[in-house]
A = this chain, B = another copy of it.
Amino acid sequence: MLSHKTKYALKALLYLAQQDKDYISKTIDIAVGASIPKKFLEQILLDLKRGHFVGSKQGKFGGYYLLKSKEEITLAEIHRFFDGAIALLPCASINFYEPCSDCKNESECLLRHGLIAIRNETLKAMEGITIASLEKK
């Protein structure tokens, strides 16, 4: 499941994608427009900025805008950025690999192979969803 944080991030990105190109949105407008708690959204936008998904302008008349194009931002990427691994266990993950502490011999683990198959399918699907594709319904 997605955390609220990830859900809010996706909604915020969708909101920004729907504004005119280079229009600068204030946090409060995103919060109201996308029904996201404002203070929580502040943190999320800062995270998105650190991830180079959005840019910001400080001070009066400041705000946020998309940095990456909406065709480039995938669900897989946002999921990994906020919620981590796509795989169902760390031992089946590409980007967040970790061995299981309870695993005697990973190469003989019967579970892992199945989970890698699932991860491949899910990943393919999640990489196909972009902010732009979501917008087009």
Residue among B89, B114, B121 making CB contact with A122, cutoff 8 Å: B121
B36, B79, B121: which contacts A121 (Cβ < 8 A)?
Answer: B121
Min CB distance A41 to B, Å, is: 11
A75 within 8 A of B: yes
B interface footprint on A52-80 (CB within 8 Å = 1, 0 otherwise):
00000000000000000000000100010
A7 contacts the other chain (CB 8 A): yes
Q: In angstroms, how far is the closest chain B Cβ from the Cβ of A90?
A: 8
Copies in the complex: 2
- Say which residue of B10, B85, B114, B125 sits within 8 Å of A1 (CB atoms): B85
Pick from B10, B79, B122: contact of A111, CB under 8 Å: B10
Measured CB to CB, the residues of A under 8 A from B are 1-2, 7, 10-11, 14, 35-36, 75, 79, 84-85, 87-90, 100, 102-104, 110-111, 113-114, 117-118, 121-122, 124-126, 129, 133-135, 137
* Known pairs A118-B125, A121-B124 / 14 extra A-B pairs, C-beta < 8 Å: A1-B84, A1-B90, A2-B88, A7-B100, A75-B114, A110-B134, A110-B135, A110-B137, A111-B134, A117-B125, A118-B122, A118-B129, A121-B121, A122-B125
